Amino acid sequence: MVQLSTLNKSRMYENVKTWNPFVGCRFNCVYCIPSFQRQAKRRRKWCELCYRYEPHFHPERLNRVPNAEVIFACAYGDIAHAKSEWVEQILDTIEQHEDKTFYIQTKDPRVFELYCFPPNVKLGITLETNLDEFDTPSRFRRYIEISDAPSPETRVVQSYLVDYVTIEPILDFSSEFAKLLKFMNPEFVYIGYDNHNCKLPEPPLKKTLELIEKLKKFTEVRLKTIRPAWWEVDDDGQC
């Protein structure tokens, strides 16, 4: 099995930028508050809706597409909460930048059925786990305590249009997870632990490393933060 010391973070953020003509979400993931929502709150001076993370449109950003090969579009939000006229304008803009690849990610893949996406878009879902309930030292025992998004199982069932999967922040999973991911046939998979000390129901590192090895047999694995689960680390911060 691969060791933690041999894993390097993917060079995935080279020549990658975000572009946020749409911002906001109502899925209320607990781990969003210290990450995306904290970033958005910094914009209070300029936009109250960004501060409140309410789904809204920034049409003035349509003509400010970043100069990068790969662009995470609408990274600060989930387009499942966007009005169709906003998404149509965003997709029209994307179509005009055929030299760039845009990643659009959701926790509700039903939204992908509603639009005709240009060929330079890769569609992704976040799938932190395949479980609805957890048996770890975390105070979170059920997925519905973590997010109001459609359940992980629902996302898998509706994932037939998906190009890639993001397993971040990874939560504990069953032995079926790798098989499910293989069934989804993603081009690539991002995988990583929570970066914000949310004390989520994380899997032990060994289990995650075994999953990574299984994934590598059928897809490209892009590593993010790979570390021991918070509950595997003692009070001194040592494993």
Q: Which is nearer to ligand SF4, 28 or 175 (CB)?
A: 28
Please report how the helices 205-216 and 177-184 are oriented relative to each other, as an axis angle in degrees rounded to 10. Answer: 30
- Sole window of 26-34, 44-52, 57-65, 199-207 interacting with ligand SF4 (rule: CB under 6 A): 26-34
Question: Which two structure tokens, joined as six digits, stand for 127?
Answer: 């799938």
Contact flag: residue 87 with ligand SF4 (CB under 6 A): no
Q: Which is nearer to ligand SF4, 29 or 211 (CB)?
A: 29
Applying CB under 6 A, among 36, 72, 103, 143 the residue interacting with ligand SF4 is 36
Question: Which two structure tokens, joined as six digits, stand for 231?
Answer: 């509950």
Contact flag: residue 190 with ligand SF4 (CB under 6 A): no
**Exposed (0-12), middle (13-18) or buried (19+): which is 131, by Cβ within 10 Å?**
buried
Q: Which is nearer to ligand SF4, 81 or 100 (CB)?
A: 81
Residues making up the chain, counted from first to last: 239
CB neighbour list of residue 169: distance below 8 Å, 6 or more residues apart: 31, 128, 192, 193, 194, 195, 198, 200, 202
Total number of residues that touch ligand SF4 (CB under 6 A):
11
Q: Which is nearer to ligand SF4, 28 or 225 (CB)?
A: 28
Interacting residues toward ligand SF4 by CB under 6 A = 25, 27-29, 32, 36, 77-78, 107, 147, 149
